[in-house]
Amino acid sequence: MTMDSKLVILFFAVAMAIASSAMASDPSPLQDFCVADHASKVLVNGLVCKNPKYVTEKDFFFSGLDKANNSKSRVGSIVTPVNVAQIPGLNTLGISLVRIDFQPGGLNPPHTHPRATELLTVLEGTLGVGFVTSNSENRFISKVLKKGDVFTFPIGLIHFQINLGKDPVVAIAALSSQNPGVITIADALFGSKPPIDVNVLTKAFSLDKDVVKYLQDEFSD
């Protein structure tokens, strides 16, 4: 193989890597903004743009993130999203955020964002956080965060946050997608509709069938 041939192959390899990286992120805007038209029935990858003549300041605005939401849930936490569903002007801009409120001992259970990296900042309290790398290493990386600390969760990796203190915790997280998505692991596996075959979960988690059926009943509500 000649040097020129090697350079051509290297060029195409780099080009394909760049292209695949570009396709893995939110679509980039081709104009100043593309405010989502939530009333449109047209299905596209993302959301259809509203006619810019009808865009107002309300399309770029959300109010109330300063207020704590009721975190008295089964896991002791509540997530308040601010994504393209709440701010139509985020469409094609590749960013969103959430506020997370934790009761003492409250947990944001293991979950993943299939379309976004997360950058979390603790505003009040002490928070234990961690994520697990992909197979086959499955390395657990964790940290205890205090007020003002920032932690990153790479895109697609399973992660969690738990309140380690005796007082409520407030955190804000930015996400690198207008619609990051969330898959809560326990809910997805034990609360799927229709339910996953008991034999699959029994073998995957080395559990008794009765335990799997109990968990499916618990998460199906």
How many other C-beta atoms are found inside a 10 Å radius of the C-beta of residue 161?
Answer: 27
Two tokens, residue 54: 């009808």
Q: Is 38 annotated as a binding residue?
A: no
Choice between 49 and 22, residue whose per-residue pLDDT is larger: 49
- 113 annotated ligand-binding residue: yes
The angle formed by the CA atoms of residues 106, 109 and 112, to the nearest 5 degrees, is: 145
- Give the rounded distance of the alpha carbon of 99 from its chain centre: 12
pLDDT tens per residue across span 118-171? 999 999 999 999 999 999 999 999 999 999 999 999 999 999 999 999 999 999
Amino acid at residue number 23: M
- Domains in the chain, please, with CATH? 52-181 (2.60.120.10), 188-218 (no CATH)
The dihedral built from the CA positions of residue 64, 68, 69 and 74, taken in this order, carries a sign that is: positive
And the tokens for 160?
């969690």
Query: Collapsing DSSP states into helix, strand and coil, what is residue 189?
Result: helix
Tokens (6 digits) for 104: 């003492």
- Residue 7 contacts residue 20 (beta carbons within 8 Å): no
Q: pLDDT tens for residues 172-190? A: 999 999 999 999 999 999 9
The answer to whether 159 is annotated as binding is yes
pTM for the predicted model, two decimal places: 0.84
Residue pLDDT, tens place only, 105-133:
999 999 999 999 999 999 999 999 999 99
- Please indicate if the annotation marks 124 as binding a ligand: no
Does the annotation place 45 within a ligand binding site? no
Phi, psi of 108, rounded to the nearest 5 degrees: -95, 100
